[in-house]
């Protein structure tokens, strides 16, 4: 069930963000920097140590900061390497944070799946719950998209 915001004895304060549908009007996300950026990485095929070619950044929406009431975005820097033997490019592994192509962390995905599958919430309610109790902005079209992908539940798009 929902958490009631109480300030002072028994005083109920409604969530000031209730009804906001434009993400630009939401409180600004707190930025967390993480790095999977390496000078060298072993080639996944033959283990040869390979130089870094490029640095990329993935933005991942994580569970928010409930004390500040703000969402939290992880800016995850990762390196891309090129194997001179296989002539192939590969990226530093970022799977401890998120699935490939996902814009949400593993923590957020498990939360959303729990709300939809275990609690059986409708998309819009799940989307609102994620925002209200976890400060994750996930438009309900995104939540819906997961379900319609059918069992896979991998968010390929961000809204
Ligand atoms: Zn190689």
pTM for the full predicted model: 0.76
**Residues 6 or more apart in contact with residue 49 via CB below 8 angstroms:** 40, 41, 42, 43
Residue 142 confidence (pLDDT):
78
Ligand 1 center to residue 92 CA distance, Å? 14
Ligand 1 mean position, distance from CA 93 (Å): 15
Query: What residues pack around ion ligand 1 (CB closer than 5 A)?
Result: 43, 45-46, 48, 83, 85-86
CA of 86 to the centre of ligand 1 (A): 4
Q: What is the mean pLDDT of each run of 10 residues along the chain (159 residues)?
A: 51 66 79 97 92 97 92 97 94 94 91 90 90 89 67 45
134: left (phi over 0), alpha (psi -120 to 50) or beta: alpha
Strand 49-65 to 70-83 pairing: antiparallel
**What is the 61 CA–ligand 1 centroid distance (Å)?**
32
Q: What does the block give as tokens for 114?
A: 């729990």
Helix/strand/coil for 125: helix
d(Cα 127, Cα 107) in Å, to the nearest integer? 15
CA–centroid distance, 156 to ligand 1, in Å, is 28
Residue 8: strand, helix, or coil: coil
Integer Cα distance of 62 and 58 in angstroms: 12
CA of 63 to the centre of ligand 1 (A): 37
46 alpha carbon – ligand 1 mean position (Å): 5
Q: What pLDDT was estimated at residue 83?
A: 95
């Amino acid at each position: 069930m929902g958490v009631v915001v109480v300030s002072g004895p028994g005083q109920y304060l409604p969530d000031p963000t209730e009804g906001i549908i434009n993400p630009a009007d939401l409180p600004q996300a707190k930025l967390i920097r993480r790095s999977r950026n390496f000078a060298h990485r072993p080639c996944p095929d033959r283990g040869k140590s390979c130089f870094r070619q490029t640095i990329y950044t993935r933005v991942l929406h994580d569970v928010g900061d409930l004390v500040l009431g703000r969402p939290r975005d992880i800016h995850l820097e990762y390196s891309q390497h090129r194997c001179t033997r296989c002539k192939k490019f590969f990226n530093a592994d970022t799977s401890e944070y998120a699935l490939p192509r996902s814009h949400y962390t593993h923590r957020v995905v498990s939360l959303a799946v729990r709300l939809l599958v275990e609690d059986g919430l409708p998309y819009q309610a799940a989307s609102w719950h994620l925002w209200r109790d976890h400060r994750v902005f996930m438009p309900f079209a995104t939540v819906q998209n997961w379900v319609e992908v059918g069992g896979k539940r991998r968010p390929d798009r961000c809204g």
